[in-house]
Amino acid sequence: MPIATVNPANGETLKTYEAMGEEELERRLQLAEATYRTYRTTTFAERARLLNKAADLLDEDQGEIGRVMTTEMGKPVKQARAEAAKCAKAMRWYAEHAEGLLADEEPAEQDVTDTGASRVRVRYRPLGPVLAVMPWNFPLWQVVRFAAPALMAGNVGLLKHASNVPQTALYLEDLFHRAGFPEGCFQTLLIGSAAVDDILRDERVEAATLTGSEPAGRAVASTAGEMIKKTVLELGGSDPFVVMPSADLDRAAEVAVTARVQNNGQSCIAAKRFIVHTDVYDAFAERFVRGMEALRMGDPMQEDTEVGPLASEQGRADLEELVDDARRSGATVLCGGERPDRPGWFYPPTVLAGITREMRIHREEAFGPVATLYRAADLDEAVLIANDSPFGLSSNVWTRDENEVDRFVRDLEAGGVFVNGMTASHPAFPFGGIKRSGYGRELSGHGIREFCNITTVWQGA
């Protein structure tokens, strides 16, 4: 895949870039290693000062970088600006909280006495250069939610971004440079996917994090396992959105629309499978379909656009295959389902009903504005349908019955359960999944400690 900016709204190639050669990659790896040796000794106060400066610059650049993201991957420009603002918020959160999250831990006095020590501490120390392999769908946020905690922990970052968002990738390197971080603290590597394996095998790279597809996760995890290096993986998702009879149907349907089409439906944590109790199925379906049909699809640079194009022609083709397979197997198309006759890689908000286990869309992730509707006879069947997926990223539950809430929290196989609200990520709370959605956690204290050397310090009498 070429490293290029191709506008998905019209298919026009705007900029192309040459992949970095071996000499340049070697220079950057040397720089990362050398910078880490000194940066690791900086104080939390100094790191926080630099990260807060980066947040200030990002706020100033919000309009400009928002337009760049929209041009490169097609998200509505209002959502792009919101993504930039969210990144600045996360930077400030880690600047404020990292020192406390990584403070030395003192075990209980009795446990220290049992060891015969005068003092025992647990200290969190940085690991070194970390390779981040990141996707195009949230081209700022996915990177910042790794970079902010990693830099605050004293690590340095090497970014291999998706090949269709090179301008965003280069902007990120420039942002941290302008903020005053030492050269080599955060570097963008303009390389293709084939180069990742060699970089991960390099002894100077200590760990890796990847957000992306299941095949990409398998490849990185395989190499990292061979090299015995720590990894964090956030892969695909096919999140359930369960609606029970006690739910506020108007609100549930309104949020369901947003949850399905946010970021043009190209989000791992977007609700994709809508599982509705039979008593309220018809009422919810009518509201949900009406909301999906009312969405404004169009030029993502326009302020009133709610659904823009998919990021790539191949992405749209993959989505069409899932819809066509479901249709051939007996699914009912309640709205959408046909490619519009216009330039660009647009696909309309679509709702499918009558889904069966034999359909590909039941097992595979639909990465675009396509929703599947399921009817559940009771709570037990709703849980069975929700868990009948290879993924386990997050989940949504709509009920005002606390006993049902307890059951869903206990039984849903996911890294998050959002009750009467839409799945979202926040710097204060851990984010990640189970099953084929990956392992490890980002954000919060859990995320910043993923790339730390958790060190026991034992002192004798």
Q: Which one from 268, 306, 364, 404 is the annotated catalytic residue?
A: 268
Look-up of token digits 């984010």: 431
Which two structure tokens, joined as six digits, stand for 231? 């990894």
DSSP 370: E
Q: Which residues pair with 119 in a beta bridge?
A: 459
Chain centroid, CA 363 distance in Å: 20
Q: What are 397-403's contacts with CB under 8 Å, separation 24+?
A: 397/242, 397/244, 398/241, 398/242, 398/243, 398/244, 398/247, 398/248, 398/252, 399/242, 399/244, 399/246, 399/247, 400/246, 400/247, 400/248, 401/244, 401/246
> Does residue 106 sit in helix, strand or coil?
coil
Alpha-carbon distance of 286 to 447, in angstroms, equals: 40
Alpha-carbon distance of 127 to 230, in angstroms, equals: 10
Which two structure tokens, joined as six digits, stand for 367? 């990465």
Q: How many CB atoms lie within 10 A of CB 257?
A: 24
> Does residue 126 sit in helix, strand or coil?
strand
Each residue of 141-177: b (16+ CB within 10 Å) or e? bbbbbbbbbbbbbbbbbbbbbbbbbbbbbbbbbebbb
Which two structure tokens, joined as six digits, stand for 457? 């310090």
335 catalytic? Reply is no
Please, are residues 77 and 303 in contact by the beta-carbon 8 Å criterion? Answer: yes
Q: Which one from 72, 234, 364, 404 is the annotated catalytic residue?
A: 234
DSSP 193: G
268 catalytic? Reply is yes
* Catalytic residue IDs: 234, 268
